[in-house]
Amino acid sequence: MSLDTYPDIWNRVLLRVPAASSLLAQDWVQNAFRQVAERRPWSWLIRRGQYLFNAVYTTGTVAVTFGSTTVTGSGTTFNPGMIGRQFRVGLQTPVYTIAAVPDATTLTLDQAWGGDAASGVGFEIFNMYQTVPADFNYHLSVFDPRFNWQLNQTVTQIELNSYDAQRANQSSSSYVVVPYAYDLTTNPPRMRYEFWPCQKAQYSYPYLYVARATDLADSGASLPLFVRGDVLLEMALAEAARWPGSSRDKPSNYFSLALAIMHERRAERMIMEMERQDDEISEMDVRYTMNLPYSPLPWADANFLQSHAIG
């Protein structure tokens, strides 16, 4: 386990800066931890997840009205599990997201229906977007074990709209994963990603991501095993050395810009050593970039790259 705890560190700050309050010392240590955690993709922040896709639902027919968010079904069995999935009729309107399911024959869309009024028409309910987990920072890789490739993450919504504004393409596997918009149903809102071409079969895409570190002040939080307490102490003391005191009448005896610089330099040397140690666990500083599409053809899968010399 870690040699230091959060209370240990901020109390050590107070030993050196008794003029500071406990809340101020805690704030300095919390800020120091955030800076360390966001400095690089540390091995202790790498997580694994999967994006699950449901099979497309098409049972029954629906009636839609221009300007209304209500969809009325006939012969349908809508259920609350469909909230957050996408809804569409044909290809002439945008893709809508289901915001609520009042009953088995009624849907509420996130935006008013923008197409012509229609009744007795077929429809599709499917997953086009996926919301990231609560601790998500950014993807390292999204991959497809069945087709033996990883999905391209370099495409933007603007480019995708130029390729396929109707989102008419669908495939047995998606090729790219694209940032879409924040999911306002989560608190706080979390990013949603679009998978293209659209995946309408039951499917799973595993992924690796870098998580955001839990704040030290959160309930149950603890200092990660590989984060040294003396590093956070030096960073917190650098902040303390810039604090002149609570007022002119109550100056801080620790206030010194030269002292702040000294603590920063000590902390930097320690962090560089932590990075070296972390690279021995999980090397993240070496990347090989090739100007090749991750998917799809003509490079059928990873076997092609493993058996051909690509200059």
Q: What is the number of other CB atoms lying within 10 angstroms of the CB of residue 275?
A: 14
Q: What is the pLDDT of residues 184-211, one digit of tens each?
A: 888 999 999 999 999 899 999 999 999 9
Confidence at residue 55, expressed as pLDDT on a 0 to 100 scale: 95
> Does position 113 have pLDDT exceeding 90, yes or no?
yes
What does the block give as tokens for 128? Answer: 């086009």
What does the block give as tokens for 236? Answer: 């917190």
DSSP letter assigned to residue 37: H
Percent of the chain with pLDDT over 90: 70
Confidence at residue 300, expressed as pLDDT on a 0 to 100 scale: 44
- CB environment 69-88: b (16+ within 10 A), e (fewer): bebebeebebeeebebbbbb
Q: What is the number of other CB atoms lying within 10 angstroms of the CB of residue 118?
A: 16
Please give the biggest Cα pair distance in the chain.
79
Q: CB burial class (10 A; 0-12, 13-18, 19+) of residue 65?
A: middle
Residues 225 and 235: their CA atoms lie apart, in Å, by 18
Mean pLDDT computed over 210-214:
94
| Whether the Cβ atoms of residue 235 and residue 36 lie closer than 8 Å to each other | yes
HSE-CB of 210 using CA atoms within 13 angstroms: 13
Of residues 218 and 203, which shows the higher confidence score?
Answer: 203
Q: CB burial class (10 A; 0-12, 13-18, 19+) of residue 293?
A: middle
> Does position 252 have pLDDT exceeding 70, yes or no?
yes
Cα separations in angstroms, 244 against 17, 36, 233, 260: 11, 25, 18, 12
Confidence at residue 292, expressed as pLDDT on a 0 to 100 scale: 53
Enumerate the domain spans of the chain: 6-38+215-281, 46-53+129-212, 61-126
Mean pLDDT computed over 89-114:
94
